[in-house]
Amino acid sequence: MITSASNKSIKNVQALLSKAKERKKQGVFVVEGPKMSFEAPYDWVSAVYMSESFFNDDRFKEEKKRFLDKTEIVSDSVFKSMSDTQTPQGVLAIVKMPHYEIDELFKGDKTELLVLESIQDPGNLGTMVRTGEGAGVSGIIMNRTTVDIFNPKTVRSTMGSLYRVPFYITDDLPETIEYAKSKGVSLYAAHLKGKCSYDRPDYTGACGFMIGNEGNGLSDEIADMADTYIRIPMEGAVESLNAAISATLLMYECNRQRRLLGE
């Protein structure tokens, strides 16, 4: 059992939680809590750390057995020092970063993409990954200036969807958008200048929704690449919605149309 916070492994977990550069260098990220730790694909997990009290607790017996060969027990005080949360749940895991090729995001007529430009809030990105799974997206494309998808806050917000939703981080967003269009994907930009209400277009074919930075929206360069500007009608004095909420409305409208088509 590890009883010292200065242990090399403990220091490494702390570095992975606080430094994107270290996560990228090692090709791993940290997940916390029973849900995220035990939902991780076994082959993706390189190590599991459990506090002494969590390990001795009768809950999650089967899940603990599954990862027993990769588990290290640490004292409760040490676990608290290595956790990124205010109330540590007693278990965390080091998980290998998944890697997807761009073509894995295309599913023919069933393609539904979320295209993100410079999203900055970790919670927003995590929420979009989570709701993306719920709405049935085939993948998420994001540029390098979007917040790190392996940021601890983003990871928590995905609630496990990070393990199941394919994503592609591009160094050249315009080029990737052009490639998506060449694959027959119709792209819709959520934009204040949009005159077409978001629930009017036909999303039953291959499509994608473009969502921009929380403060500035889509850049002109990226917005101009869309096939159609769409808008979400607003009542009162509200000008726009939170980026994650906007993305959710668009993805679920696509989901609604496709469900109706299948009835």
> Would you say 229 and 193 are in contact if contact means Cβ atoms under 8 Å apart?
yes
Amino acid at 67: F
Q: Which CATH superfamily is domain 8-96 in?
A: Ribosomal protein L30/S12 (3.30.1330.30)
Q: Where are the alpha helices (DSSP H) in the chain?
A: 8-18, 20-26, 34-39, 52-56, 61-66, 76-82, 122-135, 152-158, 173-182, 220-223, 243-262
DSSP three-state, residue 211:
strand
**Angstrom distances, CA of residue 18 to CA of 44, 83, 209, 217:** 21, 11, 31, 28
> Would you say 187 and 210 are in contact if contact means Cβ atoms under 8 Å apart?
yes
d(CA 198, CA 216): 20
End-to-end CA distance of the chain: 57
Mean pLDDT of 98-112: 98
Confidence at 238, pLDDT banded by 50, 70, 90: confident
Length of the chain: 263
Do the domains 8-96 and 102-262 sit in the same CATH topology, yes or no? Answer: no
HEC string for 31-60? EECHHHHHHCCHHHEEEEEEEHHHHHCCCC
Q: What was the pLDDT predicted at 67?
A: 98
| pLDDT tens column, 161-210 | 999 999 999 999 999 999 999 999 999 999 888 899 999 999 999 999 99
Q: What was the pLDDT predicted at 262?
A: 83
| pLDDT tens column, 113-146 | 999 999 999 999 999 999 999 999 999 999 999 9
- How would CATH label the architecture of 102-262? 3-Layer(aba) Sandwich (3.40)
Mean pLDDT of the chain: 96
> Would you say 112 and 254 are in contact if contact means Cβ atoms under 8 Å apart?
yes
Helices and strands (H and E) in the chain: how many:
11, 11
In the chain, what are the domain boundaries?
A: 8-96, 102-262
> Would you say 129 and 161 are in contact if contact means Cβ atoms under 8 Å apart?
yes
